[in-house]
Structure 1
């Protein structure tokens, strides 16, 4: 940790010699007596006089330092915790504005389920944002990066441990309506690239929340495979399954034609650990997020950013305190003389 001290107005330090002025004897301190040995020793008065001078010098010095603008520069501190570096990759396409099925969907007539979901269910995006906000709040040692995607990936927050910034980014995802197009391949490539150039310090994961899949071409698959291998990234996909949507574990070669199933099977070939969660109702999504939290709890080394700290107020407070004591001692001295 760099503990150096910086000054925003260093030229003001040239005024520091002025602090010596109160230490110099003044003419008013010279009293005329016919015979000095007749004076009794006044140790208390001498100590009080020196206290007044020292307080005056400190008041001037502290004021000069406050004018110079002292500050501790931004530093980084190496710490070790338990958690992960997590990229939150959230689908912001128009389908995420649709509603999830209600919590009691298993008791609803299947013929009436779509209508019930459209009228009583919570919007997928809203439920996802609320649970991700809670997820971030509960994981103090993690470092988060936040991205939204539809036709393009949009980076909202770079890796940070300050959850207030991430929370603000998650809240911002509620603004406006999403686009109709979704490019999962481009979004995942951007998410994996977030780890480029970062020193490997512990568990890494891309947590993707989406309700749709995609059929990726061979070149995109190759790029994603290389990026996951290069950065040693794991992937977790929370699949928000729509009413009558396909199940990811549907067997058979014919199911490869379904984008969600095709994407799921490709993810299973990636070099890092992959885990898929199907969420139909809000409680399913909550369980998926909780399971990710349990899985990603390994030792993590990270550099914590310590922001710049202004110290001018401390110097100014010291100067004011010295002036207050100076006035109090002067008042006591004058009272004693009277």
Structure 2
């Protein structure tokens, strides 16, 4: 039941509201008969006291009845403006993310003992990523975050929200159990893009892909990703957690395919090397992302320190005006009316105690 800007959870309780008029009814014992009262002075204090205690009793009963009806402000939507972005964190939850990253001093380690050093001193990639993403969310209170995990398929964990505690809980939940062996980046990307379809464009949008591997996308999937990112104006950022012996997505992997000049053996060899790289899943995915008609940035991380720098760089780049609608839940005002009833009852007790003292 709505009355103006107030609604009632239990409107049937308002049927008892006429009971608040009971203190206004005069009782038989309150009436004394005298032949005349003309010789008595007017008792203004007594009249005021009599009116006051009846008013307090009426307010106390009315407040109790209204509190039982559950008054409150209905749910509403408020438009707010901040600085930041709408960021969907698309995090790989496959078994490969449980592998360890290289230690911070990996460049000084003997390559022959690298595997031993990684296994003995490295930190799990998924744990490092969760810790840094948790700090990233904490440092950006004006952003709206959504969280999605993926392995063989996408798992929508948290829809877009500005309530950081919910996002933090979702990130923490990603550390439970072990990941699956399969990874389908294509299905995850299309699901992440679809989550923007029903949302009005209010500012900068980002899909933050956090994974340690790539994939070969088929042409229908490439078309869906390309058209979806462009239609929804979404930027793509890839936090590439490079595994030991995984390809390095450097300038060579990013270069366009060379053109063979006739039968020049050198040019043909370079071109063949280029297409040989294309068979590597990470390189293939990176080159596809580079061909997208939207902003794409790659952040390659070999160690936790590299990943921390990459996350910080994402934060520095996304600080634009952002309009968003925040859903304000229903506000219950029952406690306010119960407090008013308690105050009225306390004043009635004070009045009664003073009255008894005057009689003694």
Scaled by the length of structure 2, the TM-score of the pair is 0.91
| Alignment-derived partner of residue 267 in structure 1 | 289
Per-residue Cα deviation, 1:126-182 (whole angstroms, up to 9, x for no partner): 000111111111111111111111111111111111111111111111111111111
Q: Distance in 1 between matches of 2:84 and 2:104?
A: 31
Q: Distance in 1 between matches of 2:206 and 2:29?
A: 76
| Alignment-derived partner of residue 240 in structure 1 | 241
| Alignment-derived partner of residue 232 in structure 2 | 231
Q: Is the 8 A contact 1:135 1:289 kept in 2?
A: yes
Confirm or deny that 1:46 pairs with 2:68.
no
| Alignment-derived partner of residue 184 in structure 1 | 185
Give how far 1:64 is off: 0.5
Q: Is the 8 A contact 1:3 1:72 kept in 2?
A: no
- What SS class does the counterpart of residue 36 from structure 1 fall into? coil
| Alignment-derived partner of residue 87 in structure 1 | 88
Q: Distance in 1 between matches of 2:99 and 2:204?
A: 33
2:354 to 324, 332, 337: 332
Equivalenced residue count is 337
- What SS class does the counterpart of residue 38 from structure 2 fall into? helix
Scaled by the length of structure 1, the TM-score of the pair is 0.96
Give how far 1:190 is off: 0.6
- What SS class does the counterpart of residue 309 from structure 2 fall into? helix
Q: Which moved more, 1:254-263 or 1:187-196?
A: 254-263
Q: Distance in 1 between matches of 2:107 and 2:49?
A: 86
Q: CA RMSD in A?
A: 1.4
Confirm or deny that 1:34 pairs with 2:35.
yes
- What SS class does the counterpart of residue 37 from structure 1 fall into? coil
Q: Closer, same or farther in 2 for the Cα pair 1:152/1:3, shift >3 Å? A: farther
Confirm or deny that 1:322 pairs with 2:323.
no
- The answer for unaligned runs of 5 or more in structure 2 is 254-273
| Alignment-derived partner of residue 270 in structure 2 | none
- What SS class does the counterpart of residue 190 from structure 1 fall into? helix
| Alignment-derived partner of residue 111 in structure 2 | 110
Confirm or deny that 1:276 pairs with 2:293.
no
- Which aligned pairs between 1:138-153 and structure 2 lie closer than 5 A? 138-153=139-154
| Alignment-derived partner of residue 307 in structure 1 | 329
Give how far 1:3 is off: 7.2
Give how far 1:28 is off: 3.1
Q: Distance in 1 between matches of 2:4 and 2:57?
A: 29
| Alignment-derived partner of residue 256 in structure 2 | none
- The answer for unaligned runs of 5 or more in structure 1 is none
